[in-house]
Every structure is written in structure tokens, then in C-alpha cells.
Amino acid sequence: MIHDVAWETARLHAYELGTLVRERIPYEELVPLSRASGRTLARDVTALQGIPHYASSAMDGWAVAGSGPWTIQPRAAQDDPHAASDTLGDHQARAILTGGALPHGCTAVVRSEAASEYDGVLSAPEPRWGADIRPAEREAKAGDVLLAAGTVLTPPRLAVIAASGRDDVHAVISPRVGLVLSGREVVTSGVPLPGQVRDSFSEFLPPVLTAWGAAEATPFVQRIGDDLASTLRAIETTDAQIILSTGGTGHSDHDFLRKAAEDLGARILVPSVAMRPGHPAFLAQLPDDRVIVGLPGNPLAAFMAALTILQPLLDGVLARSFTEPRQIRVGERFTALPGRVRLVPAGLSTEDTAGNSHHELRVISREHTGPAMLRGLGDADGVMVIPPEGTEPGDSVRWLELPW
Ligand SMILES: Nc1nc2c(c(=O)[nH]1)N[C@H]1C(S)=C(S)[C@@H](COP(=O)(O)OP(=O)(O)OC[C@H]3O[C@@H](n4cnc5c(N)ncnc54)[C@H](O)[C@@H]3O)O[C@H]1N2
Ligand code: MOO
């Protein structure tokens, strides 16, 4: 009798195994910013200089010193309106563009639309001291830690790093992932005949892996039949550090993943998970520390298993922190399912299933969410985790983000 691991425990085991794998593989590499989106920082990033690194104008208009009216000074460098320059004396003004370096002595910027110019003299309502000036180092001082190790690089974070003067970053090296797709009935193109099934995973899993930070390159894909020899061969011959297999997680005489893992001396960390769908999900560590993640063959079940085991595993391997899911209010009633959580594709809505409107968003399950279906997931905003005791409308549940 296999002992199901609680959903929360399966996530923790997967994360801890990931941190162990992290110690066994090379840690970091220098990556240009242009290729660093989605990567994880291996080290803290400090500002090479302040952001911004000089005081500048926030508007097109006039740099002024003291009170008006002001005598207009010629531009220091006619061909470069942004050039840092000169000093303004009291009651003097000089034209300036947004982002232009402030002249010394400048006490405010007057917007062009607020000022009038006549015979070399500028008049405007008295500006507040410091108006429309962007002081140096307002966003960061030189040497400040801008982003901590373990942070995932998003487009705005890359821009912040660039603004501080850096061209590249130390990113955590992603593990090599191999996909092993099992099932003689699985076909990869065209219209499947009765008894055949069109492959759901080779289009689906690689971008999910990329979104979860695992692979810059397409993972190595092997297709195997339903037999022990080819299952063993697939595991033994790949150089992947994480072997992600689909199908064959069951206990029938056509399912060989568990037997293969046992024959290879693997330590089974998660034999199955107290969840639905995705219950047969499986996590094992081979004697050489490579990892097998067994995803069930049913496509939605496979994704729920991946959310439960693969994502925390990758967070561990990528030196990211363990994330606790956010809470969100559910908009419908679920009866109890003793001992198991349910992972349900759901959409955000301001209405509950009884048609009542609410100020805060609630989540409501989508249609077409059977274990072998992906339509509901395609329409979903996220996945809700329904506790074994069920829910009443308005209860809080955990909410898992989708990787796309
Ligand atoms: N007697 C029992 N039968 C089953 C149980 C059980 O507890 N007792 N559990 C069910 C659950 S839950 C799941 S999930 C599946 C697990 O199946 P396997 O991981 O062994 O996967 P297969 O049997 O190989 O395939 C299941 C199903 O998925 C389809 N499949 C497989 N690969 C693909 C693919 N690449 N693309 C699309 N679809 C795929 C396959 O054709 C089957 O229909 O077992 C239940 N049975
Ligand atoms: O993991 Mo299975 O349906 O629960 O498809």
C-alpha cells in the first residue's frame, strides 16, 4: 500500500531536493542583460553609481536660479542640450530639456508652458524651490543593493540594473532537463486514430520549463514505449540532471516508471500525492543525485503534478526562495473530499456562482477540467487549491499562478 504524501509536504520535499541538487551542479555564469530575462540572480547586484547619477530636469523648460524675472543665458553647448554645463547666477535662466543636467546654482525648473519670454527676459509664476528637479541618487545610491541574490530577473529589474551602469549579471546556471514521454499510443502529428492519442506534452512542457526558469534551450526529448527496458535505457542514457517523465506512473503491468526507479536504486521521496488530479505524481532521487519527476499521463493531472513537484524543485535548484501560495476568496461551494486537496483551474470574477456581485475578486472553477482535459486550464487565470474539508463561498483558498 503506497502512502500518499500531503500536498504541502510534497512541495517541501521537492524544494529541499532541489536545494540539494543545487549544491551538486555548477552555480553561476556571467550573462549579458539582453539574455538574462527570467534568470535568477546568483549574487546581490549593487548600483555601480547612483540612480540617477546626476541631478537633472524632470521637464522641458527653463532652469532658473532664485526668483524671477530671469535673464536668459545662452546654452552652453548648442549641439548637445543634455550636456552638463556652467553656473547660473541669481535671477538667471537657461533653456533645458527633460533629463538635461542642471547647471550649478539652479534652484528650480520652470515648465515651458508656464513661462513667457520677452526680449531676453523670462517671466513665470514663482516656482517652488526644487520644482521639477530630479535630484541625483533619488532611486538608489552608489553601492546600494538593488536586487538580492535569488531574485528572478524581470524586464523592469533588468532596466534598473542597466540604469546603474552594468552590462551583465551573475545568473544561477539552470539545470539540464530531459523529457521522457512514454506511451505507445502517443502520436506526435496528424489526426490520431481510435486508441491513439495526440501528444499533449512536447508543445506544453518546454515553455513551462522556460517560464519556471529551468531551461534556456529546448530540453532533450526521448519517446519510449510501455516497457521496462526502454524506460531504464531512457533514464540511464540521458545526461539531464532532472528527468521529467510523462505517463507510466500507474501500477498496471504497462506502467514501468516506478519499477525502473526502484531497479536503479532510487530513493523515493514522494511516491504519490494526496491530491486530485495528479495523485500518481512521483519524485525520486537516483544514487548519482539525478532526479526523476514522474508526471501522470492525463494532461491536466500532469500539469497539476508539475505545479506541485516540478515548480518547487526548480525553485530549489535555482536558489530561489520557497513560495507560499497567496490566498484568494473562492466564489463557490465545494463538498469535502477527505484526505485530498483538489487543484482546480479557475477564473477571477467579481460575481459568485449565485450571481451576487462582490467588491473583491473571487475565483470560480472553469468548465472542462477533467483530468484528461486542457480546455479549462486554457481559460483559467490560475489554479485554486481546495482543502479536503471543502469550501463555502467567500472562504479563502490558496491560489497558484500560471506560468504563462
Ligand atoms: N486502477 C486504477 N487506474 C488508474 C488509477 C488508479 O488509481 N487505479 N489512477 C488514474 C489516474 S488518477 C491517472 S492520472 C492515470 C495515471 O496514468 P499513468 O501516469 O500511468 O499514464 P498512462 O497510463 O500512460 O496514461 C494515462 C492517460 O494519459 C494519456 N497520455 C499519456 N501520455 C500522453 C501524452 N503524451 N499526451 C496526451 N495524453 C497522454 C494516455 O493515453 C492515457 O489516456 O491512471 C489512472 N488509472
Ligand atoms: O491524476 Mo489522475 O486523474 O487524478 O488523472
Domain that holds residue 156: 45-50+141-171
Q: 303 and 210, same structural domain?
A: yes
Q: Is 204 helix (H, G, I), strand (E, B) or coil?
A: helix
Check which CATH number belongs to the domain holding 121 and give it.
2.170.190.11
The grid cell for 113 is 508652458
- Cα of 152 to ligand 1 centre, how many Å? 34
Tell me the C-alpha distance between 64 and 355, whole Å. Answer: 60
Q: 146 and 101, same structural domain?
A: no
pLDDT band at 2 (very low <50, low <70, confident <90, very high): low
Q: 284 and 210, same structural domain?
A: yes
- Cα of 329 to ligand 2 centre, how many Å? 25
**Contact criterion met (CB below 8 Å) for 115 and 64:** no
Domain boundary among 123, 151, 171: 171
* Amino acid, res. 380: A
What was the ipTM of the complex prediction? 0.97
Q: 97 and 13, same structural domain?
A: no
Domain boundary among 289, 318, 347: 318
Beta bridge partners of 270: 283
Q: 178 and 160, same structural domain?
A: no
Check which CATH number belongs to the domain holding 333 and give it.
2.40.340.10
Q: 147 and 224, same structural domain?
A: no
In-domain check, residue 34: no
What are 180-202's pLDDT values in tens digits? 999 999 999 999 999 999 999 98
pTM score of the predicted model: 0.90
What are 382-404's pLDDT values in tens digits? 999 999 999 999 999 999 999 99
Residue 219: which of 345, 304, 310, 155 has the closest Cα?
A: 310
Residue whose CB lies within 8 A of the most ligand 1 atoms, among 298, 369, 377, for a mutation test: 298
Domain boundary among 134, 161, 196: 134
pLDDT band at 215 (very low <50, low <70, confident <90, very high): low
Peptide bond before residue 287 is cis, with ω within 30 degrees of 0: no
The number of the ligand nearest the C-alpha atom of 223 reads 1
What are 134-175's pLDDT values in tens digits? 999 999 999 999 999 999 999 999 999 999 999 999 999 999
**Contact criterion met (CB below 8 Å) for 200 and 139:** no
The grid cell for 39 is 534568470
The grid cell for 10 is 510534497
- Cα of 332 to ligand 1 centre, how many Å? 29
Q: 332 and 284, same structural domain?
A: no
Mean pLDDT (the chain) is 93
* Strands across the sheet containing 220-224: 220-224, 177-182, 242-246, 291-295, 282-285, 267-270
Number of domains in the chain: 4
Q: Tell which wins on pLDDT, 1 or 334.
A: 334
In-domain check, residue 84: yes
Residue 164: which of 149, 144, 182 has the closest Cα?
A: 144
* Amino acid, res. 401: E
* Amino acid, res. 161: I
